Amino acid sequence: MSKRRPNQKPGTRLAHAGRDPERFHGFVNTPIYRGSTVLFPTAAALEANDQEYTYGRLGTPTVKALAEAIAELEGGHATLLTPSGLSAIATTFLALLSAADHVLVTDSVYRPTRRFCDSVLKRLGIETTYYDPRVGAGIKKLLKPNTKMVFTESPGSQTFEVQDIPAIAKAAHAAGAMVVLDNTWATPLYFKPFAQGADVSIQAATKYIVGHADAMLGTITANEAVWPKVAHTHDELGLCPGPEDVYLGLRGLRSLGVRLARHQASGLALAEWLARRPEVARVIHPALPSDPGHAIWKRDFTGASWLFAVVLKPASKKAVAAMLDGLELFGMGYSWGGFESLIIPFDPSTYRTATHWNGEGLALRLHVGLEEVDDLKADLEAGFARFATNS
């Protein structure tokens, strides 16, 4: 495999990490390995069971290529692949928590993560407390003797609160708790989880890493201390993503840098334009200096992704529906991270418990795709015209 080279920039490593053309007759990409059975050459080899590959579920060269690349980019010890982002999150909880443990989870967490805590963890006798994502060093007051984990997601789902991960990690580690981060929004390119204090970093690779809305995939990257626990549970649960999906993860990864740069520029241009619109009460985007999370984002992140929110001024449901229904470039759908623009309305007030959502009007989450930004503006502008005639 291509050696880790700390002197090369992440953008360069994206093109080379996890690749070893010499092993594959010079072909640039690691092939798709399909397989359940792996043969052993001798009875002694079978007994020793120590060859590189032993069973399809436990890994193939395709899996190894993506896992090595992600581990290198995130800056962790090693990486496991799972069939979805949610299965990566669920596996991490199951690996690191036991009955009678307590876990602190950010109130801005991806909603299905919250459902997992409220259903499976509860059934197993693991207590969840939701906390304000902006708690920072104040997390100290919420840590109990049996708190084993602080789960973070920065910026948070839908409402994009930026978390002070170094401050949270400092307090959690002092109390003997681990820090897990859902790093999907920033990707390892824009936030280095282990350098900032996380013990485990999760990617819903479905989103930016696959990047083309055509596969589901998750990754769990751990530091050396936590690695054996997550690796054993991952093995015991029998998780293995399909070979094509792993390949699509590798394929997407190679262009992640240029896609992110383009989406970031378009996303920021659109966010600034939206902030000046009379229909908009405010824009939630950590890269805007007016955003409450801007200072921490600037300190800890090296870029912003193109998923953000706008809060509209109070308007009728009919006006918003007229705006959304006629959009030609922005599709309505949930799984972001692909090349195409998306928009959905959302209302966090129905399920948050530790924080109070202050929405002046309806909130919209935008995912700015790779289309030309002028065309996207024109699409939204026509939407605002329909909004006005239906108000």
Ligand X SMILES: *Cc1c(COP(=O)(O)O)cnc(C)c1O
Sequence-separated (6 or more) residues with CB below 8 Å from residue 110: 85, 86, 89, 153, 157, 182, 184, 204
Write each residue from 140 to 179 as x if it is in contact with ligand X (CB under 6 A), else as -, in one continuous string. Answer: -------------x---x----------------------
Catalytic site residue from 101, 107, 132, 182: 182
Q: How many residues bind ligand X (CB under 6 A)?
A: 14
* Contact status: 85 vs ligand X (CB under 6 A): yes
Structure-derived torsion over alpha carbons of residues 221, 223, 226, 228, reported in degrees to the nearest 10: 70
Give the whole-angstrom CA distance, residue 20 versus residue 29. Answer: 8
> Is 57 tagged catalytic?
yes
- Residue in 17, 63, 86, 168 binding ligand X, rule: CB under 6 A: 86
Q: Which amino acid, 261? A: A
Which of 99, 66, 58 lies closest to 244, judged by CA? 66
Is the separation of the CB atoms in 376 and 346 below 8 Å? no
Give the whole-angstrom CA distance, residue 18 versus residue 259. Answer: 20
Give the whole-angstrom CA distance, residue 134 versus residue 162. Answer: 7
- Residue in 204, 270, 287, 344 binding ligand X, rule: CB under 6 A: 204
Is the separation of the CB atoms in 140 and 175 below 8 Å? yes
> Is 182 tagged catalytic?
yes
* Contact status: 252 vs ligand X (CB under 6 A): no
Of 213-242, which residues contact ligand X (CB under 6 A)? 216, 218
Q: Which is nearer to ligand X, 76 or 383 (CB)?
A: 76
Of 318-337, which residues contact ligand X (CB under 6 A)? 335
> Is 325 tagged catalytic?
no
Write each residue from 43 to 82 as x if it is in contact with ligand X (CB under 6 A), else as -, in one continuous string. Answer: ----------------------------------------
- The catalytic site residues sit at 57, 110, 182, 207
Which residue ranges make up the site for ligand X (CB under 6 A)? 84-86, 110, 153, 157, 182, 184, 204, 206-207, 216, 218, 335
